[in-house]
Amino acid sequence: MARETQKKDPSRGAAGLPPYFNIDPDSALSDLDAPTSTGGFADIAEACARGRADLSSRGMNEEGRKALRLFSTWEITRYLIPVAQAHFRRVLKANPELPQGRSETEGGAKWFTLDEVLRLRAHFAAQGSKTKDYQPYRPEGLPAKMVAVANFKGGVGKTSTAAHLAMSAALDGYKVLVIDLDSQGSMTSIFGGRVEDEWQTAFPLLARHYGDHLRLENQRRLDRGDAPQPLDDSLSAAMEMTAADVIQPTHWPNIDLIGAQLNLYWAEFQIPVWRMAARSWKLWDALTERLEADGVLDQYDVIFIDTPPALGYLTINGLSAADILLVPMGASFLEFDSTGRFFDMLHSTFASIEEGENLAARALGRPEIAFEWDAVRTVITRYDSAQQGELAALMQAYLGPTLSPHRQDYTALIGQAGEQVNGIYEADYRDFNRETYARGRETFDATYAAFKRLLLAVWRRDELQMQRAAQ
Ligand SMILES: Nc1ncnc2c1ncn2[C@@H]1O[C@H](COP(=O)(O)OP(=O)(O)OP(=O)(O)O)[C@@H](O)[C@H]1O
Ligand SMILES: [Mg+2]
């Protein structure tokens, strides 16, 4: 009898019963495919790759590259160059050598490329009112600021935050470099990067830093009469490379990229092996010192580093390179809880590096090291004021100034913006409901404003210090 009732198909029978009752094992079996082998993963990966290629070919230009949309006079004068529309038009008319824009219809709105916007801004900065903020502040003679966005919790908005800040900073007139340290390569997709293998990622920079260290070590070994450790082929190849070899342009005229790809994950295995071979190699300095040595810190204004959802060697490198550390998290108990643990891990990781180094430094009478960040801020992302106000207030109460004052709202503009992975600054506002667009843009503009305030503050602090030191 009991068996009889079980045979019923749940989708058709037993009205009112929950869907997990009355599942017939034989009918379930008839739907089941063969067991999966290792090769099965390759098939699934291949299917994903084909789907991805299909999606990403949409919205690309003829060369199969991402193209940045145009910017209208309205948007330029509203968001990018602080002048009245009428004045903007007058200046263009009076200066026929300046970009004049193009319109889709006779007498319709004029549209400009970002390159043209940047040229126009430079013109207004040179000719326009001195009291206006045409070009963003960047103290002379000081290096670019590096900003790492990290949290070992996945899906908290690291990549979205880093990508949007990079775009905002670029729109604001800064020259930006984005470094993707996540082998998932999401940031690389957003910026349309092409990465064949680990040799087009940050990997060779780290390898070269190790190779340089090994050569110095070998010199000392030779001096002591010990046999040197040979550099293998891949280290020797890395010794020939500089940052310029791995930096690629993007569809944004003032954003460049060091991309990532699955093979970058290899670094997580390789770095500890190198470190075992040369205990004195300061792996955490690798990224900063290579970027510095190759002049990258003078070529850019702001460098954003996106990290994977793990506290591995790549993340440690990104974090120790950073001047500013941003830690995104949602206003939910689980994300708050996990972010607390992340800071716990940061503390023990960096404390143990300092301890190890300083033990040796004290023994040798050398100065001790201490990591320092200009600023560390947690940022609430995907915020829903109707549901999360109370929790956000609690987080604010406990974290105080460490929590950035602006909560980045949940917006339908992200994630759903068309077939491609796009930033909201890349979306054409005419494709959205005006209200949705304005609110989405507003919340990311405010995220950038809070960040820019921090950036200017830390730069200014350095500038004043430099001036005092020169006196
Ligand atoms: N403000 C927002 N409003 C709506 N959706 C958002 C917002 N910020 C991020 N998202 C969405 O949340 C998801 C996770 O975001 P994102 O990829 O930036 O997180 P992540 O921390 O980089 O993830 P991972 O740990 O995998 O690298 C994405 O689908 C993204 O589109
Ligand atoms: Mg990410």
Q: Kindly give the distance from the C-alpha atom of residue 337 to the centroid of ligand 1, in angstroms, as a whole number.
A: 18
Q: Map tokens 């929590």 to a residue.
A: 403
**In this structure, which residue's CA is closest to atom 23 in ligand 1?**
155
Residue of 335, 378, 414 to mutate, ligand 1, most atoms within 8 A of C-beta: 414
Tell me which residue has its CA closest to atom 7 in ligand 1: 382
Percentage of residues of the chain with pLDDT beyond 70: 94
Query: 180: pLDDT confidence band, cut at 50, 70 and 90?
Result: very high
The Å distance, Cα 158 to ligand 1 centre, comes to 7
Residues with CB in 5 Å of ion ligand 2: 158-159, 186
- Give residue 392 CA to ligand 1 midpoint distance, Å: 18
d(CA 320, CA 46): 36
**pLDDT at residue 212 above 80?**
yes
CA 251 to chain centre: 16
Pairing of strands 375-381, 255-258: unpaired
Residue 405 structure tokens: 């004052």
Q: If pLDDT is split at 50, 70 and 90, which confidence band does 135 have? A: confident
pLDDT score, position 151: 96
Count CA within 13 A, CB hemisphere, residue 366. Answer: 10
Spatial distance between the Cα atoms of 310 and 302, rounded to a whole number of angstroms:
24
8 CB burial (10 A radius; 0-12, 13-18, 19+): middle
Mutate which of 158, 159, 160, 188 for ligand 1? The one with the most ligand atoms within 8 Å of its CB, which is: 160
Confidence grade of residue 12 (pLDDT, cut at 50, 70, 90) = low
CA atoms within 13 A on the CB side of 32: 9
Tokens (6 digits) for 411: 């917006």
Mean pLDDT of the chain: 90
Summarize the confidence of residues 298-317 as an average pLDDT. 97
Q: Tell me, in angstroms, the distance from the centre of ligand 1 to residue 156's CA.
A: 6
In tens, the pLDDT along 399-458 reads 999 999 899 999 888 765 444 557 789 888 888 888 888 888 999 999 999 999 999 999
In the structure, which protein residues have their CB atom closer than 6 angstroms to any atom of ligand 1? 154-160, 182, 186, 309, 381-382, 408, 410-411, 414-415
Least distant ligand from the CA of 446? 1
Let me know: does 367 contact 361? Beta carbons within 8 Å.
yes
What tokens appear for 413 in the block? 């503009």
Share of the chain above pLDDT 90, in %: 73
| Higher per-residue pLDDT: 460 or 107 | 460
Please report which confidence band the pLDDT of residue 107 belongs to, taking 50, 70 and 90 as the band edges. confident
**C-alpha 194 – ligand 2 centre gap (Å):** 17
Task: Please state the atom number of ligand 1 nearest to the C-alpha of residue 444.
Answer: 1
Considering all CA atoms of the chain, what is the largest pairwise distance in Å, rounded to the nearest integer?
A: 96
DSSP codes joined into one string, 231-300: P-HHHHHHTT--HHHH-EE-SSTTEEEE---GGGGGHHHHHHHHHHH-TT--GGGHHHHHHHHTTHHHH-
| Protein residue closest via CA to atom 9 of ligand 1 | 157
Q: Report CA-CA distances (Å) from 418 to 85, 135, 445.
A: 30, 32, 21
Of 2-6, 145-149, 210-214, 300-304, the poorest mean pLDDT is in: 2-6
Q: Please give the DSSP secondary-structure letter assigned to residue 141.
A: T
Query: What residues pair up with 378 in beta bridges, in sequence order?
Result: 327, 403
Q: In what order do the strands lie in the sheet with 71-72?
A: 71-72, 110-112, 102-103
| pLDDT per residue as tens digits for the range 151-176 | 999 999 999 999 999 999 999 999 99
Neighbours of 15 (CB within 10 A): 5
CA nearest ligand 1 atom 3, residue:
410
Write out pLDDT tens, residues 365-411: 988 999 999 999 999 999 999 999 999 999 999 999 999 989 999 98
- Closest residue by Cα to residue 176 from 99, 71, 247: 247
